[in-house]
Amino acid sequence: MFRPVRGMKDLYGISVDKYACIVNVAMRIGKKYGYSKIKTPIVEYTDVFQRSIGDETDVVSKEMYTFDDKGGESLTLRPEGTAGVMRAIVSENLAQNLPLKLMYHGEMFRYDRPQKGRYRQFHQLGFECIGDKSPYTDVILICMAIEILNSIGIFDVKVLINTLGDSKTRSDYTKALVKFFSRHEEKLSEDSKRRLAKNPMRILDSKIASDREICQMAPLITDYLSKESEKYFEKVCNLLERSGVNFELDNFLVRGLDYYGETAFEFKSDAKDYTDSVGGGGRYDQLLKTFGGTDVSGIGFAFGIERLMLLMDNSRLDKNTRKVAVIPVSEQENDVAFQMLQSLYSADINAEFIHIGTMSKKMKLADKLHCEIAIILGENEINGDKYTVKFMNCSDVNEKTKTVNKNDILSFIRHNLGC
């Protein structure tokens, strides 16, 4: 038996409906906020991710699907969407008209340990806003994310927020972290020991319990903020409060990717059975420049679509699944029935053409396909001026079968299917 690769899933049935519903809602809301769609390749040169996400992050050091192609180039399946979008902005010269607002969705790949809501192939829905640095922009983006969540029936979400300050802040804070973690070096995990030399802020993102215990006592970034970063963050928090956003300060939130500076945030559900973050993002000041683009700031976030699917309210799904069966009594009526089917499709009515087998087999199939109404086309119907219609689920013999004037058939079906 062949199976999908570990940590990768086939999506079908209701999962595909949920995926489509989430993406449709998000793209509609994104458009309202001025975002346009972008699709970048699933594969990029490895350097695109290494350079932007950072060598010491778990994503780059442990989780990337990297391989050499037949020409010997090192390629990587994208582990996230932001780096590819920045690369595309520079490659396609898109930064001429700023601000630039782009949204995307699609497959991402991380060699993570699979568990509920955590996969090796998963999907993200992301938004990036480039060239518009202001606390208002940060808060508008966060409010848009919350609007998307609410629109798919997810309300119990809290925003955890922190600031990673400007480069002066991070340089001062890094020195303080080196001093602090050096005192606890022996108790740190091997990964954290290495990070102490290369990228001490990464230690704060360690998932290892013993590291986490030490991190609880680490200095706080808020004590090292430059005046500008402090003012910026105060304004962000003030605007979030005024917008009625349910947020909480988390001074140890550093995010798992290196490109962030200033505002950083994550969306956490309060649902008892799911506590991982459903999305996250933040401001990045150097990212576009890293790819050879202009020196402008950006901010963005991404939701994990599988995690939204776990939490969404299924009653938001498109209910337009009610359908009609078109059933010719014998082969003679096939062509007329076929014509009827086409007029139903033209009128945007869901329909199945059931024309093979005995009448009883056809009726059974209509039932199996969950058709609610069957239009029966026999000799009488073709020669007369009425169609015979059966309500498949009706148990009242007097109501089960009706005759309908040929000219009224489309409006009759529409009325009875509620479409």
Nearer to ligand HAM by Cβ, of 165 and 328: the residue is 165
Nearer to ligand HAM by Cβ, of 113 and 319: the residue is 113
Nearer to ligand HAM by Cβ, of 200 and 304: the residue is 304
List of long-range contacts for 53-56, beta carbons under 8 Å, 24+ apart? 53/79, 53/80, 53/83, 53/257, 53/258, 53/259, 54/199, 54/202, 54/257, 54/258, 54/259, 55/198, 55/199, 56/194, 56/195, 56/198, 56/199, 56/202, 56/258
Nearer to ligand HAM by Cβ, of 108 and 337: the residue is 108
Nearer to ligand HAM by Cβ, of 201 and 257: the residue is 257
Nearer to ligand HAM by Cβ, of 102 and 341: the residue is 102
CB of 388 to ligand HAM, least distance (A): 52
CB of 166 to ligand HAM, least distance (A): 17
CB of 2 to ligand HAM, least distance (A): 23
CB of 194 to ligand HAM, least distance (A): 21
Whose CB is nearest to ligand HAM? 304
Nearer to ligand HAM by Cβ, of 114 and 153: the residue is 114
Q: Tell me which residue of 263, 373, 307, 279 sits closest to 119, measured CA to CA.
A: 307
**Can you give the binding site for ligand HAM, defined by CB under 6 A?**
80-82, 110, 112, 117-119, 122, 124, 126, 128, 256-257, 277-282, 300-304, 306-307
CB of 257 to ligand HAM, least distance (A): 6
CB of 410 to ligand HAM, least distance (A): 45
First CA to last CA across the chain, in angstroms? Answer: 43
Nearer to ligand HAM by Cβ, of 302 and 375: the residue is 302
CB of 48 to ligand HAM, least distance (A): 13
CB of 160 to ligand HAM, least distance (A): 11
CA–CA distance, 39 with 28 (Å, rounded to integer): 16
Give the CB-side neighbour count of residue 27, counting CA atoms within 13 A: 13
Q: Tell me which residue of 145, 122, 124 sits closest to 35, measured CA to CA.
A: 145
Q: Tell me which residue of 196, 174, 170 sits closest to 183, measured CA to CA.
A: 196
CB of 63 to ligand HAM, least distance (A): 8
Nearer to ligand HAM by Cβ, of 119 and 224: the residue is 119
CA–CA distance, 146 with 301 (Å, rounded to integer): 12
Nearer to ligand HAM by Cβ, of 123 and 184: the residue is 123
Nearer to ligand HAM by Cβ, of 125 and 188: the residue is 125
CB of 266 to ligand HAM, least distance (A): 7
CB of 73 to ligand HAM, least distance (A): 23
